[in-house]
Chain A
Amino acid sequence: MVADVKERQGFAGIVLPSLRGATGPLIGLIVLCLFLTFATDKFLSVRNFLNVLDQITVLGVMAVGMTLVILIGGIDLAVGSVMALAMMVLGYLNVVAGVPMGIAIPLALLVASLNGLIAGILITRFNVPAFIATLAMMSITRGLANMITDGQQIIGFPAWFNMMAIVRFGGFLTLTVAVMVVVFIVGLLYQRYRHGGRVLYAIGGNAEVARLAGINVQRATVLVYVVCSFLAGLSGMVLAARLDSVQPSSGVSYELDAIAAVVIGGTSLSGGTGGIGGTIIGVLIIGVLRNGLNLLSVSPFMQQVIIGAVIVLAVTAETYRKRK
């Protein structure tokens, strides 16, 4: 909890104004933390808090991209598979083909982004509904990820790669957590203070109004899917570092976790309201909840039930609050 406070002070100026509309989830998170503080003796410690941060990196990076997509009223079901494809490309290039990491990582991210570009073009140029376009991309990328090694995992990354997820610089941040924090900050700044970010709210609010107002809706839409896929790829890099291996079955149903985090954070699936500030809270809620349930030795199956209930609770509370 001490570390929690310290962490927030670091970027309080950015996070706090972004929480408008996400006060409900924030209260939920605080209540959850208080409960776990009293219910377990292990929850309230710097060490456990850093564990939670480590555990949410993959979800956190991915959920930022998903927030942008949902903000414009879209959806991206392909992120889990795109993540797996990026990981397999990385593994193939580095371990099998001997390409140095400095080149392999950018190439893997490029492949990931390319998937978003295709999805974006399908959606804007060919008017394929986002659900269908990304559902197709989900299947295609999962297949491709499997084809690279015929379903086998790849191991044998350089030792420093795994260290990125283990060594705590200054006894505090692993590099993977740092990547997540940077993504959070850049995402928040972009969404709140950049021309391109404000435009997303207009598009999600009403795409036709936005188009008639002279906003290039098509370009913004494609860009959002590219960024979402890029971040899915980046979360793949983070997961690869954490696991020190890559396998094509990674990230199955991660898209649903990402959507859950976004929704818990108060972003409306119909677009136009919410944002990354809320999503950060949503990701923390899921992370803290999983961590807490583990500390309480709740079975993984029961955890699924509880997380489902939390999603319903979060959305109903938000709807109820709005109606009032």
Chain B
Amino acid sequence: MTNRSPLLSLRGIQKSYGPIKVLHGVDLDIYPGEVVALLGENGAGKSTLSNIISGTVQPSAGEMTWLGKPYAPANPRAAMDEGVGMIHQELKLLPKLSIAENVFVGRYPMKSGRLDRRAMEERARAGLQRLGLDVSPDRLVEGLSTGRQQLIEIAKALTLNARLLILDEPTAALGGEETQLLFHQIERLKAEGVGIIYISHRLEEIRRITDRIVVMRDGAKVQEFDRGDVPIRTIVEAMVGRSLERMFPTLPTPTDEVTLEVRGLSAPSKAFRDINFSVRKGEVFGIAGLMGAGRTELVRAITGADPIASGEVLLHGKPVTPRSPIDAIRNGIVLVPEDRKLQGVVLDHSIAENIGYANLGEISRNGWISSRRIREFAEDYIKRFGVKGRGGQNAGELSGGNQQKVVLAKWLARKPQVVVLDEPTRGIDVGARSSIYDLIVGLAREGVTVIVVSSDLEEVLGVSSRIMVMAQGKQAGILNREDANDVSVMELATL
């Protein structure tokens, strides 16, 4: 590989925003037919670097060489024309347009001044086939699974003759099967000589598909591994710059007292059916399963966010089946939802207000309330949970980990009996995750009943006393901590 010339070379790339330097002279070579993992915590400079390569951002200093020639794309389109394509984390497809239209949007093939629909669909079909995607190009994007949409984004880049692809967290929203499909396609692209920069927080998959690993920290390249198969601990240590004793805190022994019981619970949409389990005081109960197994729907139903068709929820033996979030909250059952930015916090409101919104009843006296009182109330919890921010700061300015702490703080202020966390560390960087785990286990230690839903297998295994595995809306089994490992969980999940 090293005797071939690189597709892209970066030398001394720097980027500053005003006085703040976010990249300190990065060197990087990408060769044809290799997958290079770009790793680092949030804020390490991965996004800035990939934005520079894809022409979204211009470097302050340094040089780039593309196929032996100087390369300085002024915008994403220029980069695209050279053959550099970036697939963003948030998909940028237009749902109401067909796949073919999406692939060619902005550069439709024309024939005598009119759109050449036939050429467009044929070329789109060729792109889809290259990825082994069996969908018609005249189908609307709307309704396609996230995984499929991701592949269409890739097809789009390929149809534009991309020779270097940057994939930013491509599997963040994918289920197991879709991830496999994506990896399979990545292998094919490699064989065709396409270079790939792969950004992900999921270290397990990095080991599987990458040929080289580049670790960034604080805007600089700190370590480079010449193979993908590096122990996760080594990678994590390079990322956080300190050695990790252990990621997960020790779990407390749960009491024998059953707090929450779920009996024969089913959703009107059949997203989950006939679920039965009980959780004890001070226990962390994990729920694992593949994308679409009905985990999120189940916990949303338990916390009143989604409707329940039949079955009941009992708290200390008393039926409390919620019909709205208000019902559940009154009974001390609270949800830390899956999508922080859309369901957890109001991004352009302050931290204090966000904490206040779940506690207005307690903060107000006879219905009267003042901003000062909200701030005082919140300040206390901001300190207690170690949120790195001031009460008056907007929640949108915080990192994912700190936003999650705000969501937790707003609930814990109510002293709940049951805390349900759906994907508590999604999109949160590795260093910040352990503080979330500490909070979760700390809750259990205080006698709170905790339910954790996670797609991150290591995470569910690490924090749960027992794990319920769901498959296609049904409960496939409940494993004790001793019996649970990635194999036994995956076996049940793929039932």
Contacts and interface: CB of A to CB of B under 8 A. Distances in A.
Interface in A190-243: 192-196, 198-199, 201-202, 205-206, 208-216
Nearest to A207: B346
A272 interface: yes
Nearest to A205: B346
Interface stretch (B16-24, B161-169, B364-372, B425-433): B364-372
Contacts of B353: 201-202
Given A205-B349, A208-B342, A193 B337 contact: no
Interface in B356-411: 356-358, 360-361, 364, 367-371, 374, 410
Contacts of B330: 214
B364 A272 contact: no
A213 B353 CA distance: 12
Contacts of A194: 364, 367-369
Contacts of B344: 209, 212
Nearest to B414: A214
B442 interface: no
A273 interface: yes
Interface of B: 303, 305, 324-326, 329-330, 335, 337, 342-349, 353, 356-358, 360-361, 364, 367-371, 374, 410
B325 A212 contact: yes
Contact of B364 (A195, A205, A215): A195
A75 to B, nearest CB: 19
25 contacts: A192-B371, A193-B369, A193-B370, A194-B364, A194-B369, A195-B360, A198-B369, A199-B360, A202-B353, A205-B347, A206-B345, A206-B346, A208-B342, A208-B343, A209-B343, A209-B346, A209-B357, A210-B357, A212-B303, A213-B357, A213-B358, A213-B410, A214-B329, A216-B324, A272-B349
A205 B369 CA distance: 19
A193 B374 CA distance: 11
A214 B325 contact: yes
Contacts of A199: 357, 360
Given A194-B369, A198-B360, A209-B357, A214 B326 contact: yes
Contact of B345 (A193, A195, A209, A215): A209
A216 B326 contact: yes
Contacts of B371: 192
Contacts of B374: 198
Nearest to B364: A195
B300 to A, nearest CB: 9
B244 to A, nearest CB: 33
A273 B337 CA distance: 24
Given A195-B364, A212-B344, 16 more contacts: A192-B371, A193-B368, A193-B369, A194-B367, A195-B360, A202-B349, A202-B357, A205-B349, A208-B342, A209-B344, A209-B345, A209-B346, A210-B357, A213-B358, A213-B410, A215-B360
Contacts of A192: 370-371
A198 B364 CA distance: 10
Contact of B348 (A193, A205, A215, A216): A205
Nearest to B345: A209
B482 to A, nearest CB: 35
Contacts of B369: 193-195, 198
B356 A198 contact: yes
A206 B353 CA distance: 12
Given A209-B344, A214-B329, A201 B349 contact: yes
Interface string A247-281: 00000000000000000000000001100000000
Given A195-B364, A195-B369, A206-B342, A214 B349 contact: no
Residue of A206, A210, A212 ringed by the most chain B CB atoms within 10 A: A212
